[in-house]
Amino acid sequence: MSKRPQQSESSALVTAAMAIEEELRKFESLAEEVRTGPMRSQKNLEKMGKLLNSVADCDERMVANMRTLLGVLNQWRDRQQALAAEVNSRAQELQTRTQVYQELMLRFSELGQEAGGLSAQMQQVAGMTQQGQAASPEEIISSLQQVNERMSQVAENAGKLASDAEAQDFSDVARDADSLRQQLLSARNRANLLQQKLHPASA
């Protein structure tokens, strides 16, 4: 992870900018003297030569300060680009993780719908065992066996989903899928007990 600019780097940026501003003022002042200075005597010519030398020195200092400023700006630019790359990487990771999560939740939703349908079938079969129902014990046992087998399959799928979610580090989905698996196994056990009650020999 890229770090924030250090105080020394910020100070270097401010110092370089201030130095450039100061040298620019000097440069403007010297340039004005050069532009308007008289050249009618030896003294004037000597002064003009000194002014030109001062302008050249000022220009060199200003260029050096600009290089320093540019160096700091380049460091900040590199840091910004590094941070942007990290952010882009995380954005891509988010997209991938979201897709994985949605796929897991779709599987969980489908299993939940199947479990709900099996629960309704179980209640229907349980109602068949009450007095006044025309269904024979054999019909009830056959229905229980079908529900039982389907519950086992859905419970197994829920277990696979829990393992896949755990492998993808989605512990909440893994926990919910395992809870659904346990509910299905519990319901299957009740179906087995009811089946044994109706026909012990079929256990």
Q: How far apart are CA 26 and CA 16, in angstroms?
A: 15
Q: How far apart are CA 178 and CA 155, in angstroms?
A: 9
Rg (CA), the chain: 42
198 pLDDT above the threshold of 80:
no
Query: DSSP labels for 113-177?
Result: HHHHHHHHHHHHHHHHTSTT----HHHHHHHHHHHHHHHHHHHHHHHHHHHHHHHTT-HHHHHHH
In 3D space, the residue among 117, 104, 113 whose CA is nearest the CA of residue 160 turns out to be: 104
**What's the pTM?**
0.67
> For 6, left (φ over 0), alpha (ψ -120 to 50), or beta?
beta
80 pLDDT above the threshold of 60:
yes
Q: What pLDDT does residue 203 have? A: 42
Convert the pLDDT of each residue in 177-187 to its tens digit.
999 999 999 98
The model's confidence at residue 129, banded by pLDDT at 50, 70 and 90, is low
Pick 80 or 147 by higher pLDDT: 80
Convert the pLDDT of each residue in 131-160 to its tens digit.
555 566 777 778 788 888 899 999 999 999
Pick 107 or 128 by higher pLDDT: 107
The model's confidence at residue 201, banded by pLDDT at 50, 70 and 90, is very low
170 pLDDT above the threshold of 60:
yes
Pick 104 or 190 by higher pLDDT: 104
Under 8 Å CB-to-CB from 181, ≥6 apart: which residues?
155, 158, 159, 162
| Report for 12-16, 89-93, 140-144: range of highest mean pLDDT | 89-93
Mean pLDDT of 1-24: 74
Q: What pLDDT does residue 191 have? A: 80
Mean pLDDT of 158-175: 96
202 pLDDT above the threshold of 80:
no
15 pLDDT above the threshold of 80:
yes
Pick 123 or 18 by higher pLDDT: 18
